[in-house]
Amino acid sequence: PRPILLTRHGESLDNVRGRIGGDTVLSEAGELYAKKLANFVEKRLKSERTASIWTSTLQRAILTASPIVGFPKIQWRALDEIYAGVCDGMSYEEIKRNMPEEYESREKDKLRYRYPRGESYLDVIQRSEPVIIELERQRAPVVVISHQAVLRALYAYFADRPLKEIPHIEVPLHTIIEIQMGVTGVQEKRYKLMD
Ligand code: F6P
């Protein structure tokens, strides 16, 4: 069985400020997570002959991967976070205050709601399919460093969760979700490396 390790990037400056989207760098806590993750990956994949690290094209994911050495790294646009269109860079409170109808539509149907000039969960699920196909084809372990919404989609596929649950799956920061694909099915472990 080969493991797939799923993780969000380390905490970013936008996470600290409560802003969605953007392309900021890591906070101090985020940088610490990147180091802890590198340690974990080194130990966990020590006995593997090959493995690869897949990130999104956003700084916070690339920086989270940067302390990991000795494995090839690949950047995927398809792993970039859900794009919030005109709401990119806003906080949820700002959206609620300035665009209450948008906020409500999303509350009502988070799966189908598409941000103006942005994406919906259904869009993200669809664009994550090529990544899933490649993950299925891999013989060697893969570490995926991506973002909350995209990881919800990937996780739901492997854990066989229903479509309507996807936008609500818990994918906390600073936690590794290890998926083992064996002959008897899929097994899951979670490692919380820090708060
Ligand atoms: O807040 C972090 C973040 O990754 C945002 O960039 C993104 O818009 C959001 O999470 C996705 O989560 P939700 O769909 O629950 O708003």
Q: How many CB atoms lie within 10 A of CB 95?
A: 18
The catalytic residue among 19, 60, 127, 174 is 60
Q: Which atom of ligand 1 is nearest to the CA of 19?
A: 1
pLDDT tens, 95-129? Answer: 999 999 999 999 999 999 999 999 999 999 999 99
E-assigned strands of the chain? Answer: 2-8, 52-55, 73-75, 142-146, 175-182, 185-192
Beta-bridge partner residues of 162: none
CA distance 64 to 67: 7
ipTM: 0.99
Extract the tokens encoding 104. 């409500």
The catalytic residue among 11, 19, 81, 119 is 81
pTM of the model: 0.97
